[in-house]
Structure 1
């Protein structure tokens, strides 16, 4: 019985020693800290900053406007020149419209005058044609009488006509005599002359109805018609010039819009959050004059948290990037799966320049390891538990199964 108790006690002592040694000798970090990257918002231009009252640690969303910078001395000379040129082009466009309107009114007035002249000329030719046809009908009616003759012709007229023809035939070639009007001497000649006059007038009235006036043997187009043609040619040229001016106005308007946008970008620029996280540091206050590229705000990137830890040299040399690990957060007992992401070694102070939590002196005396812990975003500690501490374990320990049950 005593021997049994001795063996049981010895076994309990051995198990206890194994647990204590296994817990202490397992690969683990001395300390660990939940960390995250910092991002800096810089002034895109020189000017005065406008910023609302922002509380440290305030939650910000990606794309949220946090401040703005206004430059009251931005160069607007180019914009003013383009606006002046655009206004001049608009004035020229309006002038062309006025000239086109006046020309169109003159064309309408001349068109009315030309139409009146055309109607009057046609009526005149119709009257002459009507009388010419009446004379022809009278002559043809007299010609139908067997004893019809031109009794009104005197013998002296016949003799004078014969003498005139004789003098014309015997005159020298170098000095031709003046032409003597051919006077009809019989009824047939009078009828032929009347028919010729009727034909000429019929052709004249047909041409007049087509807009060509040949009543007097030449194209006597009225002044109104000629002026109307000139104005029509000028109006066509004005229309082409007006279309070109409209294109110039549109092009200048587009250039003015682009330059105005450029001036607005140079005159005022917003500062928007480029990550979702927390406001970590304010480096410039409301109403302060800042230079281009000057740091204004620092934000904590809560979408990419990691855990930084320090380990001994023996543990460090046994680690490889991508190895599995466990992170246990202090105070809550939560254990999260982790993966080794970076092995920075001893004295890794420079890699913390863009991280929220800087390492202590004892941390830098050991070997730096960074692990990713995806489960932290869904933990009870919140979406951004930066600053929380714990320990990282890289090897299994005797009480891991018991911890899993708890």
Structure 2
């Protein structure tokens, strides 16, 4: 019984020492802080700044208006030049429309004249053809009267004779037949719209002029179509110029995403800012990470992707984590775009970043930027009991 008590006491002492030493020797961080990247919103244009009323640390919704920049001195020369060019195209189009209308009226009048001339010419040819056919019939009938002799004598001029013509009567009959055939050809051609006669080619002056006007109207129509295409292209340029002018006249700064915090104001309200000036900063809580520092001995045992755990100060719940970045000593530059800057004591140790997905999905936890805790990289003797009392 005496030795049993002694063995139990020694075992209890050894277990206690194992727990104390194991808890103290576990690879852990001295300090760990929930951090997140900071987004700096800059002015896209130059103008007067108008800030919206937001408290520092306020939670923002996506596309929530944060500030507006108004430029009352926006350049309108480019848009005015394009509008002037459009007005000139419209004036040219109206002039061509008037020309086409005037030429169309002249063409219609000439077409009417051509139609009247064609009817009159056809009637004239019909009359001449009838007379020529009668003369041919008289000559073919061989009328020996005085009329036939006079008819024969009428075509005995030297200029009407052909070489080798047998007699004057035969010449007259041949001339009559030629006259009939000529008039038939002229009449048939006229019915097809071709004019045969002396003093013109295949159409009278009115018809030739009408054809010229048709060509001018067609050319003006092609030019009008070309101007229409140019106008459509110019309207697209004007639309882009108006859009650009609108963007240069007023620009709004909105929250780029959900789950963000209003972090810092970099400009005073109602001041004049230039293009590219920083206006304000917001924190993206959806990209939260854990930044911490460890000793050199612990740092040299870590690797990217290694499993770890994180616990908030004053709580027992452990959040699974993985090692995301090993920045090492003097890691001041990696904190330039993070919300929480490192302390001087932190920079004296070796910087490590942990990725904790549950921090970004836990709705009850919210945006825990700035909250502190500890990170662990090895198992500890009391982890089993911590799980029981979770």
TM range (shorter): 0.7 to 0.9
Instruction: Verify: 1:245 aligned to 2:227, yes or no.
Output: yes
Contact map agreement 1:42 1:295 (CA 8 A) in 2:
yes
| Residue 218 (structure 2) aligned to one of 236, 245, 251 | 236
> How many angstroms does 1:395 deviate by?
2.3
Residues 341-389 of structure 1 deviation map (CA, whole Å, 9 limit, x = unaligned): 3344455444333221223444344443322222222346524221222
Correspondence for 2:384: 401
1:137: how far off? Answer: 3.3
| SS of residue matched to 2:146 | coil
User: Within the alignment, does 1:306 sit opposite 2:301 as a pair?
Assistant: no
Larger-gyration structure (1/2) = 1
* Counterpart in the other structure of 1:80: 80
- 2:245 maps to 263
State the partner residue of 2:164: none
1:150 aligns with 2:133: no
The CA deviation at 1:310 is 3.0
**Larger mean Cα displacement after TM superposition, 123-132 or 237-246:** 237-246
Which of 354, 371, 374 is matched with 1:388 structurally?
A: 371
CA distance in 2, matches of 1:203, 1:348: 108
- Tell me the distance in 2 between the aligned counterparts of 1:66 and 1:288: 15
The CA distance in 2 between the partners of 1:223 and 1:270, in whole Å, is 71
| 8 Å Cα contact 1:150/1:187 also seen in 2 | no
In 2, Cα distance between equivalents of 1:363 and 1:45:
39
Question: Are 2:60 and 1:60 aligned?
Answer: yes
1:330 aligns with 2:303: no
Distance in 2 separating the partners of 1:186 and 1:340: 131
* Paired residues for 1:112-127 under 5 Å: 112-127=112-127
Q: Structure 1 residues 374 and 217, CA, compared in 2 at 3 Å: closer, same or farther?
A: closer
Distance in 1, matches of 2:67 and 2:234, equals 34
| CA distance in structure 1 between the partners assigned to 2:120 and 2:30 by the alignment | 119
Give TM-score scaled by structure 1 length. Answer: 0.81
Aligned to 2:41: 41
Provide the residue aligned with 1:201 in structure 2.
183
Cα distance change of structure 1 residues 402 and 380 upon mapping to structure 2, 3 Å threshold: farther
* Structure 1: distance between partners of 2:339 and 2:202: 100
Q: Distance in 2 between matches of 1:380 and 1:122?
A: 100
Gaps of 5+ in 2: 162-166
C-alpha distance in 2, partners of 1:217/1:120? Answer: 17
The answer to whether the 8 Å contact 1:45/1:269 transfers is: yes
Aligned residue for 1:303, secondary structure, equals: helix
Deviations 1:183-235 (A, max 9, x none): xx986665444434333322332232233444568658433223212212322
TM-superposed CA distance for 1:126, in Å, is: 0.8
Preserved CA contact (<8 Å) 1:125 1:215: no
Say whether the 8 Å CA contact 1:38–1:354 is kept in structure 2: yes
3-state SS in 1 of match to 2:369: coil
Q: CA deviation at 1:139?
A: 4.7
Counterpart Cα distance in 1 of 2:137 and 2:285: 117
After TM superposition, the structure 1 = structure 2 runs for residues 165-244 of structure 1, keeping only pairs within 5 Å, are: 191-214=173-196, 221-244=203-226
User: Match of 1:315?
Assistant: 298
1:111 alignment counterpart: 111
Cα distance in 1, alignment partners of residues 235 and 170 from structure 2: 82
Distance 1:296 1:82 in 2: 34
Distance in 2 separating the partners of 1:373 and 1:180 = 122
1:18 aligns with 2:18: yes
Contact 1:201/1:215 (CA < 8 Å) preserved in 2? no
Is the CA contact (8 Å cut-off) linking 1:56 and 1:279 kept in structure 2?
Answer: yes
Could you state the TM-score of these two structures normalised by the residue count of structure 2? 0.84
The 3 A distance-change label for structure 1 pair 220 and 340 is closer
Residue pair 2:107, 2:213 contacting (<8 A) in 1 also: yes
Kindly tell me the number of residue pairs found equivalent between the two proteins: 380
Provide the secondary structure at the position in 2 that maps to 1:297.
strand
C-alpha distance in structure 2 between counterparts of 1:135 and 1:58, whole Å: 117
Following the alignment from structure 1 to structure 2, what is the Cα–Cα distance between the partners of residues 45 and 371? 38
Q: Structure 2: how far apart are the matches of 1:79 and 1:218?
A: 57
